[in-house]
Amino acid sequence: MDWENAIDGGAGQLEESCPFFPLSKILKATNDFDDALVVGTGGFGKVYKAIIDDGIVVAIKRLNAESNQGAEEFWTEVRLLSKLRHAHLVSLVGYCNEHQEMILVYEYIANGTLASHLYKSNREESGKSISPLKWVQRLNICIGAARGFDYLHTGTKQPIIHRDVKTTNILLDENWVAKVSDFGICKLITSQATTHVSTKVKATRGYWDPDYIYTNRVTRKSDVYAFGVVLLEVLCGRPPIDHRLEEEQISLILWAKKHIENGKLDRIIDPSLNGETTPQSLKYFSKLANSCLHITPKERPTMSEVVEILQNALVLHERKGRSWGRITKAFQGIKLVPMGMNCWWREGNGNGSNSSGGLPKQSFPQPIFNYVNHSVDPRFSLAEIHAATNNFNKSLLKEYSNVYVFTYKEMSLAKKHFRPDNVLGEGGFGVVYKGVIDESVRPGYKTTNVAIKELDREGFQGDKEWLAEVSYLGQLSHPNLVKLVGCCCDDEHRLLVYEYMASGSLEKHLFQRDCFILTWPRRMKIALDAARALAFLHLAERPIIYRDFKTSNILLDADFNAKLSNFGLAKDGPMGDQTHVSTRVMGTYGYAAPEYLMTGHLMAQSDVYGFGVVLLEMLIGRRAMDRSRPSREQKLVKWARPLLMHKKKLLRILDPRVEGQYSTKTALKVAHLAYQCLSQNPKGRPVMSQVVKILETLQTQEKSQER
């Protein structure tokens, strides 16, 4: 198998070769394979913790001559891991194959396997004091592992099937970051037209995909099935097969699926998680596990979809119990502070206040808001708290934003009591209605058409995103940012009132058949408008990273002027000598920059990548992700970017709906700009102010040619 050529591509960084360690160095590092250094054993042999070279702590796996793993598995692992680098794949430091020894040297992963932390029996047998994993830890571990497997499936030139997905092959570093290990029986899908590999059944009992057993055909969905078993282990805290249990409970899959389908999660959940989970998060997680275990491979989600659903489950968990409460008068002077700072209210001697609906002592583990003055009152300290559940003091909003604060009754009048025929759109945030604010809603108000977004309290955007939107759009003003007219925060109701954008979203005009087809000049004008919006955010006194740049967030007014909307995920950018801000990965799959997905490091260049994706969508007329297309064309960037610098290939893939409306020279320049924006290396991308200049120059040239 030509691993070197097959693995090339994607977000991973490739290395030319894997270092070779002489056996003498291995013997010295392990003190002649001293059993006192053994940190793990298995059918393959033993793993030793050792220090090698300049004090590097490593895990040395010595393959037993009697083991089931032989030379083929050994060389598969060496060739594969010497080429791949990813935040959620274990790193291979080197190897040794001298004197009939086959030895692999890995980075040392301090917290061992996921399995060792899940099962009560494993924790007790370890002889160490190991606490059960918290639910939020389990969610983050699952997300990390899923990203690792998704990278294998989609991040290389030819997809890689792991074939041995299980909790003992998911390792946890000192920060509890998950890393996928053990690549000895991986298989490549070597043809674009091929969806499976025919091979003898290998893997671990309890994780076998039934379709693989029946047909000997292994697919990426075989990995998804096994990952579904992992999810059940995480949920239930037990192994896939346990003969110590009663007959009906021996098989985790059969036992757990029955209770999941009957809605009786309380009968299977790990007892150590009691009181830690939220119903919504648990529901998402269990349904995902069940769908991964579908008997029909085509009905299972992809690993990309698994990542997305797990992230949603995490968001729902982090929102548990969060609601706005009545804030005492001392809070009314609060204005803005840097994002990420959370407020804890203390009064007097620090014992807290229960007066007038105040906040009780130290009983609130989640943020109430992320905004206070730069000069923080001494009565505030940084911590995380829940809010109480009464009425939020609206004067707080008036203090730090330039928007109207409406009552829910006024909003009902503006929306004509939420009639379905006024609905403009729906999403994970809730519903957007068309409304009118006039004298009947608020005396003295000039009649204005508006769009009213009502937050779904069971959706994925919470109070934090709602307040971020009020904060940013309430303070910022630019011709290419949608105007926030007002907001409403009565009781549990969270609404945002925007200027009405008569032509809808860019997404609608690019991809819906019944919509007006955007001409080439109009597309270039929209691209320039959107670029100006991003450049404005990036060049602000306190830089802002938008974080969710996509066609559905670019709205068009009656004259097709483009305006950026939806600031719920926006984040303050790095300041001073900082190059990035670290944050949990959020956004939309297909638009997120590879370095952000891999590391959580967010920078202005992350927005530039998203702009490149949108520019590509406008050029080609295809969605960033389209699973209805052939597998090699489903990811637009992966398929189209290599073609952008070839004139003939480019002209073949440009949107046929705008054929004849552009000069070849201009199309090539726009394609070159998209190519640069989509560079895997953030430093290879232009800044948005440069993008604006390039598009302005092209627009000027086109206008002069028309004359």
Residue 341 is predicted with a pLDDT of: 34
Q: Is the pLDDT of residue 312 over 70?
A: yes
Task: Evaluate whether 96 touches 22 at the Cβ level (below 8 Å).
Answer: yes
Topology of domain 393-499 in CATH is Phosphorylase Kinase; domain 1 (3.30.200)
CATH code for residues 113-318? 1.10.510.10
Confidence of residue 325 (pLDDT cuts 50, 70, 90): very low
Residue 193 is predicted with a pLDDT of: 44
Task: Evaluate whether 167 touches 198 at the Cβ level (below 8 Å).
Answer: no
Confidence of residue 17 (pLDDT cuts 50, 70, 90): low
CA atoms of 48 and 104, how far apart (whole Å): 11
Average pLDDT over residues 219-230: 95
Percent of the chain clearing pLDDT 90 (strictly above): 39
Q: How many CA atoms lie within 13 A of 91 on its CB side?
A: 17
| β-bridge partners, 625 | 635
CA atoms of 280 and 386, how far apart (whole Å): 18
Q: Map out the domains of the chain as residue ranges.
A: 23-108, 113-318, 393-499, 506-704
- Residues 592-607: pLDDT tens digits? 888 887 777 889 999 9
> Which range is least confidently modeled, 251-260, 304-313, 344-353?
344-353
DSSP 8-state code for residue 635: B
Confidence of residue 166 (pLDDT cuts 50, 70, 90): very high
Catalytic residues: 548
Longest CA–CA separation in the chain, Å: 91
Sign for the CA dihedral angle at 393, 395, 396, 397 comes to positive
Task: Evaluate whether 493 touches 408 at the Cβ level (below 8 Å).
Answer: yes
CA atoms of 21 and 434, how far apart (whole Å): 68
Better pLDDT: 193 or 689: 689
CA atoms of 641 and 381, how far apart (whole Å): 48
Q: Is the pLDDT of residue 550 over 60?
A: yes
Question: What does pLDDT average to over the chain?
Answer: 79
| β-bridge partners, 508 | none
CA atoms of 8 and 611, how far apart (whole Å): 25
DSSP 8-state code for residue 481: B
CA atoms of 445 and 503, how far apart (whole Å): 24
Task: Evaluate whether 504 touches 469 at the Cβ level (below 8 Å).
Answer: no
Q: Is the pLDDT of residue 449 over 60?
A: yes
**How many other β-carbons are positioned within 10 Å of the β-carbon of residue 31?**
12
Residue 323 is predicted with a pLDDT of: 37
CA atoms of 536 and 516, how far apart (whole Å): 29
The pairing of strands 484-488 and 404-406 is parallel
Domain 506-704 coded CATH 1.10.510.10:
yes
Confidence of residue 122 (pLDDT cuts 50, 70, 90): low
Confidence of residue 117 (pLDDT cuts 50, 70, 90): very high
> Phi/psi of residue 682, each to 5°?
-55, -35
Residue 390 is predicted with a pLDDT of: 34
- Residues 555-564: pLDDT tens digits? 999 999 999 9
How far out from the chain centre does Cα 416 lie? 37
Q: At what angle do helices 252-261 and 220-236 cross, to 10 degrees?
A: 80
- Reported pTM: 0.53
Q: Which amino acid is at 413?
A: L
Q: What torsion do the CA atoms of 249, 254, 260, 266 make, to the nearest 10 degrees?
A: 10
Task: Evaluate whether 267 touches 235 at the Cβ level (below 8 Å).
Answer: no
- Residues 281-296: pLDDT tens digits? 999 999 999 999 998 8
Q: Which CATH class is domain 23-108?
A: alpha beta
Q: Is the pLDDT of residue 1 over 50?
A: no
Better pLDDT: 436 or 240: 240
> Phi/psi of residue 3, each to 5°?
-60, -40
Residue 364 is predicted with a pLDDT of: 31
Residue 416 is predicted with a pLDDT of: 67
DSSP 8-state code for residue 89: B
How far out from the chain centre does Cα 565 lie? 20
CA atoms of 267 and 249, how far apart (whole Å): 12
- Do the first three CATH levels of 113-318 and 506-704 match, i.e. the same topology? yes
Residue 453 in marked binding region: yes
Q: Is the pLDDT of residue 666 over 90?
A: yes
User: Is 183 exposed, middle or buried, given 0-12, 13-18 or 19+ CB atoms closer than 10 A?
Assistant: buried
Sign for the CA dihedral angle at 314, 317, 323, 327 comes to negative
- Residues 183-213: pLDDT tens digits? 888 888 765 545 545 455 555 778 888 887 7
Please list the helix, strand and coil fractions of the chain in percent, rounded to the nearest 5, in that order: 40, 15, 45
CA atoms of 649 and 667, how far apart (whole Å): 12
Write the secondary structure of 321-378 as one string of H (helix), E (strand) and C (coil).
CCCCCCCCHHHHHCCCCCCCCCEEECCCCCCCCCHHHCCCCCCCCCCCCCCCCCCCCC
Average pLDDT over residues 426-440: 76
Nearest to 441 by CA among 467, 415, 459: 415
Nearest to 328 by CA among 368, 366, 363: 368
